[in-house]
Chains A and B, each alone.
Chain A
Amino acid sequence: MKILVAVKRVIDYNVKIRVKADHSDVDLTNVKMAMNPFCEIAVEEAVRLKEKGVATEVVAVSIGPKAAQEQLRTALALGADRALHIETDERAESLAVAKLLAKVVDAEQPGLVILGKQAIDTDNNQTGQMLAALTNLPQGTFASEVAVDGDKVNVTREIDGGLQTIALTLPAIVTTDLRLNEPRYAKLPDIMKAKKKPMDVKTPADYGVEVASKVSLLKVESPAERKGGIKVASVDELIDKLKNEAKVL
C-alpha cells in the first residue's frame, strides 16, 4: 500500500509571532520556519506503517513557496521515499490545497492519506475533511490510533469528552492529533541521503486548479493584552477578593 502524506511549511511553533505594522498580516520576514507539528506526526505515522510492513511506499507532498522544499527534504530524511512539491507563492487556502491534493490522490492512488489535523498558522482544521469530501473517501479525523486491518482501517479519534473508534473502508483519509505518536528526529546520515531522494516539482496550473479564494484577509491584529492584577498574601485575602471585589464566589 502506498501512503500519501501532506506537509505544510509554517512559522516554527516556538516563535512568538508579530503582527505587521500595517495590520496586513503576520510578519514572516526573517522568522524561523518549520514543518507544521501535526504534519510531523503524519510523516512519523506513515513511516511507522512502512516499517511495520503495512505500507510499501511513502510519498510526501507540499503546496507552497519554493522554500517548502526544505520541509519536503525533512520528510524525506524522516523516511519518506519521494516528494512532490506543488509550487505557488499565492496564499493557498484549505479548499485550494484540498483540490490539489485530490488531483494528486487521483494520480497516485494511495491506500491511505495522512495529514495533520490543522496547521498552527491559520488554525483552520479543514484540509483533510475537504480532501475526503472531494475524493469521496471516508475520513478519520483527530486520530490518536490508526490500525490497518486488511481492507479496513480502525481510527481512534480524540473527540470532546473522550475517544471514539470508527472503522473506515480503504482508501481513507486520516488526520493526526497530538497523541498519535512522538515524531523522531532526523539523523545526519538520513539528512544526507534525503538530498538524493527524488522530488518532483509542479505548479497548480499543471493540475488545472485555481488557487485564488473568495475569502479576503482584511486585517490582522494582536489580541487585547490582558493586564496582570495583584498578588495576594494569603488564602483568606484571596477568598475575600473573589467574594467582594470580583464577585465570582
Chain B
Amino acid sequence: MSILVLADLHEGQLAGATAHVVAAAKAIGGDIDVLIAGEGVQAAADAAAKLDGVSKVRVADNAVYAHQLAEPMGALLVELAGDYTHVLASASTTGKNVLPRLAALKDVSQLSDVIGVESADTFKRSIYAGNAIATVKSDDVLKVMTVRTTAFDAVGDSGSATVEAVDVVVENTQSSFVKQELAQSDRPELGGAKVVISGGRGMGNGDNFKLLNGIADKLGAAVGASRAAVDAGFVPNDMQVGQTGKIVAPDLYIAVGISGAIQHLAGMKDSKVIVAINKDDEAPIFQVADYGLVGDLFEILPELESKL
C-alpha cells in the first residue's frame, strides 16, 4: 500500500491537522508520502519531513497552487494519484473542497469524515451529525478519504523524510483568488486547542464574551460559541462549535450558558472532560458534562477567573 497525504497549510505554514492525517495513514499501513502544494512552501515541506512515519515529502511550489484553489489542486492530485492506493486529507475546508474533485475525476467514491480505520479498505465514519456511526467498505481501486483530525492522535516530529520537488504545473483560467479575511487572534486555533471555553445564548450579548476571554487567557484556551450565540449575532461564525461549525475534542471543554442542543453536542461530545456552567439545572448539557455547576454565569465566571 502507498498513501498520499495532502497537507493542510495555514498562511503558508504546515497546519497541525496534517500530523493527525498522517496518524490515520499509519493506521492503514504502507508507505506514506505527504504532498505540499502552494507558493513559497519550503518551510512547510521541512516541517512535514519531520513527521513520524512519512517516507517522502513531495513539494509542488508554484503560483498556480497559491491559496490551494480547488481547480488546480484537483488537477495536480489527478496527475499524482496514479502512484497510490489511498489519498487522504483532513476534513478541513481545504480537504473537503479539493478531494471530491480528485475522486470524481478518477471515477471513485470518496469517504468523508473518517473517524476509524478497521482495515485498508474498511473504515468508520460519522453520519447524521455524529448521531450514527457507519462502517463502510470501499472496493474502489483508489481510496479517497477525508479524515476527522480529532479522531486520530497526532504523530510526533522526530522523523526525517526526503523532500523532493514535483514539477507538475497545471493551468487555471477558471478561478482566481480575490481576498481572504482570517480572524486575528493570539489564542490557539479552535480545532487544535487543548482547552476550549464556549459561550451560548446565556451570555446575553457579544460584549459579555470578554468574561470568557479572561479565563481563556489564563488557561491558554480557544474561545468558541454555540450556534445560538452566533445566530443571535453575539460573535462571528468562525467561533461556532457544532455540527455546522467546528468539531472539537480538547482535553477540557467548558460550556457556559449553553443549553446543549444536539447540534452543539455533535461538535464537542468527544472532548475528554466537559464542564457545564448553566443557571438551568435541567439543561441537557448537564447530561454529557463530567462536572456541572448550576448558577449565574455572571457571578461564576469572574470568580473562576480570579481563582485560576
Contacts and interface: CB of A to CB of B under 8 A. Distances in A.
Interface of A: 11, 16-17, 19, 26, 93-95, 98, 120-134, 137-142, 144, 154, 157-169, 172, 178-179, 213-223, 226, 228-232, 234-236, 238-239, 241-242, 246, 248-249
A229 B292 contact: yes
Which residue, B96, B103, B293, B304, has most C-beta atoms of chain A within 10 A? Answer: B96
A165 B262 contact: no
Given A19-B132, A235-B293, 19 more contacts: A17-B132, A133-B102, A138-B71, A154-B178, A159-B180, A160-B246, A166-B175, A178-B244, A222-B131, A226-B274, A226-B288, A228-B292, A229-B289, A230-B290, A231-B294, A238-B304, A242-B275, A242-B291, A248-B251
B71 A220 contact: no
Interface in B139-193: 139-140, 173-183, 189, 191
A3 B94 CA distance: 26
B211 interface: no
22 contacts: A17-B131, A123-B126, A126-B110, A129-B98, A138-B175, A139-B70, A139-B175, A140-B175, A142-B97, A154-B178, A160-B191, A164-B181, A166-B69, A169-B173, A214-B108, A214-B138, A215-B138, A226-B287, A228-B288, A230-B292, A248-B195, A248-B251
Contact of B128 (A120, A168, A213, A231): A120
B273 interface: yes
A109 B139 CA distance: 34
Contacts of A134: 104-105
B108 A141 contact: no
B259 to A, nearest CB: 14
Interface residues of B, number: 85
A42 to B, nearest CB: 15
Interface in B271-303: 272-275, 281, 286-294, 300, 303
A241 B182 CA distance: 36
B180 A168 contact: no
A122 B127 contact: yes
Contacts of B67: 164
Interface string B180-218: 111100000101000100000000000000000000000
Contacts of B140: 214-215
Given A123-B112, A129-B70, A161-B183, A137 B128 contact: no
Interface of B: 10, 67, 69-71, 74, 92-94, 96-105, 107-113, 122, 126-140, 173-183, 189, 191, 195, 219, 237-238, 243-244, 246, 251-252, 262, 269, 272-275, 281, 286-294, 300, 303-304, 307-308
A159 B237 CA distance: 10
**A-side binding surface: helix, strand, loop or mixed?**
mixed
A169 to B, nearest CB: 5
Contacts of B252: 242, 246, 248-249
Contacts of B131: 16-17, 222-223
Given A166-B69, A223-B133, A238-B293, A228 B128 contact: no
Given A126-B100, A137-B174, A169-B173, A164 B179 contact: yes
B181 A162 contact: yes
B130 A223 contact: yes
Contact of A235 (B130, B132, B174, B303): B303
Given A133-B74, A239-B304, A248-B252, A123 B129 contact: yes
Contacts of A98: 104
Contacts of A94: 100, 109-110
Which residue, B109, B133, B275, B293, has most C-beta atoms of chain A within 10 A? Answer: B109
Nearest to B75: A133
Contacts of A123: 112-113, 126-129
Given A162-B182, A166-B176, A166-B177, A126 B103 contact: yes
